[in-house]
Amino acid sequence: MVCFIKKHAKKITSLVLIGALALSTVFYGFSDKTKTVEAKTDKTTNVTTVGNTKAPKYVFFFIGDGMSFPQVQITSDYLGAIKQNSSSEILSGNKYLNFMKFDTVGSAVTYDSSSFCPDSASTATSLSTGHKTYSGVINMDETKSVSYETIAEKLKKQLGYKVGIISSVNINHATPAAYYAHQASRNNYYEIGTEMVSSGFEYFAGGEIKQPTGAKNDQKSIYDLAKTAGYKVVTTQQEAKALNSKSGKAIVIGETIADGGALSYDIDRKSDEWSLAEYVRTGINVLDNKKGFFMMVEGGKIDWACHANDAGSTIKDTVALADAVDVALSFYNKHKEETLIIVTGDHETGGLSIGYAGTDYDTFLTNLVNQKISYAKFDSDYVANYKKNNTAFESVLQDIKKNFGLLTSSDVDAAKYPKLVLTNYEYNKLYQAYQKTLGKSKVTLDKQEEYVLYGTYEPLTVTITHILNNKSGINFSTYAHTGLPVPVFAKGLGSNVFEGYYDNTSVYTKLASLLNIK
């Protein structure tokens, strides 16, 4: 046997090397960074294939701005809690959101070239182009001299896909802008608006265009530029309902506009006011065609609610995003062999935790049922009047009870709702915040202490949400972004490639590989 090995050593070595190379080729093919599979396009059907797999013809890309695992889980837990049988002592658990049941779940790391706690401009750049950059920069490198082409631009140019961009906040805000603009600063709203018009994308919908006539109000309106470029600028739901694939390019601005020029928080939305889901449904009507489409949908007010530490509004807007995903799922059920749906976040906001020191190992999530309006609406509908009329604290407490359910120990309903009764500690914090908001406070706080207590928000309002959050067993650690990874949920054609733990730039490279774009 030894002699045989010596005699045929060279042949054996060659065979081993060939076998090793073959195996390495097999395993190497599964590497996200090195996967190179020949792709072909049948020009008669416009079907692109990657290996033996068709490329998705219809792509829905949902981004929950500020949404990471905590936002998804607290929403799921809350829905489970309100379904819980009150007579049962055994916890029945959470209720899964539709996208939590998707075929594939991955995790994406979110750091950018500036920080482990990145912003929306840089993280959306990573998702849309596969490149890292500084916070505040949209689709440009760190020198701010090189522009990156986005996946939406490539799909339109290379494959002739129609493109739709939807957001619950301003449609020239950082996240939607990252799919069509290239700017050294996310604050270049006018320049972003002009790029929106020149993109030629078929459908934009959501909040108002920010600074439509420029920062100094001296530029030609973006809306007028859009009309000149052949866009229908639609501002009523009735007009929007009439849009279809033959309508041409359209910009749909919400009929009801709330804080910051955005759509209403879902907790504030009236029954006849369009939800995010309706803008997605209309988008499908506009974009549907034989070649294919790409639709990016942002639940932007999840982020805004988390910045303000408003858990109740966060949950409702996460549900609103899930409702919008339902519309995509209905489309998917009719086009299962051609559709891909991705749901992810750009970063986490607020440092949301399920658990609070004051409630030990317990949560009381049903307390949040008592929140009727967002922090922003309380500011506009109530706090503005308190300042104007110098409203007495006793009257303010009645409004707090009405809108958030919090009670004093002397309230007639205190015995009925013991988990919502203010402790002496909470009452004093609330009174201090009330005095601060109305300019009556005689207590001087240093800048750090004041920021930790109130951030940049109305002291009274943010203290109300803090107390309700904490009584529910929820806490926020910051008013800013954090460095948590975000989930990536995927369903449909090619969804399996999104499994694993990877950098957020890989979300782009995986999708680009599936679609065979360069």
Contact 299, 67 (CB under 8 A): yes
- What percentage of the chain carries pLDDT values higher than 70? 90
Q: What is the mean pLDDT of the chain?
A: 91
Q: Which among 80, 85, 73, 94 has a CA at the least distance from the CA of 474?
A: 73
Catalytic residue status for 409: no
Q: What is the pLDDT of residue 88?
A: 82
Nearest in space to 363 (alpha carbons), one of 477, 476, 475, 472: 472
Mean pLDDT of the region 149-168: 98
82-117: pLDDT as tens digits: 998 777 888 889 999 999 999 999 999 999 999 999
Three-state SS for 17-60 is HHHHHHHHHHHHCCCCCCCCCCEEEECCCCEEEECCEECCCEEE
**Amino acid (1-letter code) at residue 478:** T
Strands 203-207 and 250-253: parallel
User: Residue 383 phi/psi, 5° resolution?
Assistant: -60, -40
**Higher model confidence: residue 48 or residue 371?**
371
291-to-58, 156, 216, 280, 337 alpha-carbon distances in Å: 9, 10, 42, 19, 14
Q: Report CA 327 to chain centroid distance, whole Å.
A: 17
CA distances to 323, 442, 450 from 445, in Å: 43, 10, 6
- Per the annotation, binding residues for Mg(2+) are 65, 173, 175, 298
pLDDT at 470: 98
CA 309 to CA 179: how far, in whole Å?
28
Sheet holding 58-64, edge to edge: 232-234, 250-253, 203-207, 162-170, 293-299, 58-64, 339-345, 486-492, 104-109, 500-503
pLDDT tens readout for residues 453-465 = 999 999 999 999 9
Q: Which residues are annotated as a binding site?
A: 65, 173, 175, 298, 303, 307, 346-347, 481
Q: Which carries the bigger pLDDT value, residue 15 or residue 66?
A: 66
Q: Phi and psi (nearest 5°) for 68?
A: -125, -165
Q: Which of 222, 226, 320 is nearest to 264 (CA)?
A: 320
Residues in the chain: 518
Residue 140 DSSP code? B
Q: Between 44 and 196, where is the model more confident? A: 196
Query: What single-letter DSSP state applies at residue 138?
Result: B
pLDDT in the model for residue 442:
85
CB 234 within 8 A of CB 252: yes
Mean pLDDT of 142-148: 98
443: confidence class by pLDDT, cuts 50, 70, 90: confident
Which is the catalytic residue, given 107, 120, 126, 495? Answer: 120
What pLDDT, on a 0 to 100 scale, did the predictor assign at position 328?
98
This prediction has a pTM of: 0.90
467 pLDDT band, cuts 50/70/90, is very high
Mean pLDDT over 351-356 rounds to 98
The per-residue pLDDT for 53 is 62
Contacts (Cβ under 8 Å, ≥6 apart) of 36? none
Examine the pLDDT at 50 and tell me if it is beyond 50: no
Residue of 265, 262, 197, 267 lying closest to 232 (CA atoms):
197
pLDDT at 381 over 90: yes
Range of lowest pLDDT (17-21, 204-208, 251-255, 445-449): 17-21
Tell me the average pLDDT across 438-445: 91
d(CA 270, CA 437): 28
Dihedral of the alpha carbons of 240, 245, 248, 249, in degrees to the nearest 10: 70
Q: Averaged over 255-263, what is the pLDDT?
A: 97
Res 239: pLDDT? 97
pLDDT of res. 11? 43
Q: Which residues pair with 250 in a beta bridge?
A: 203, 232
Q: Which architecture characterizes domain 53-353+479-515 according to CATH?
A: 3-Layer(aba) Sandwich (3.40)
Structure tokens at 318: 């996460």
> CA-CA distance, 263 to 166, in Å (whole number)?
11
**Residue ranges of the domains in the chain?**
53-353+479-515, 364-472
pLDDT greater at residue 41 or residue 98: 98
Higher per-residue confidence, 151 vs 45: 151
Q: Tell me the binding residues for Zn(2+).
A: 65, 303, 307, 346-347, 481
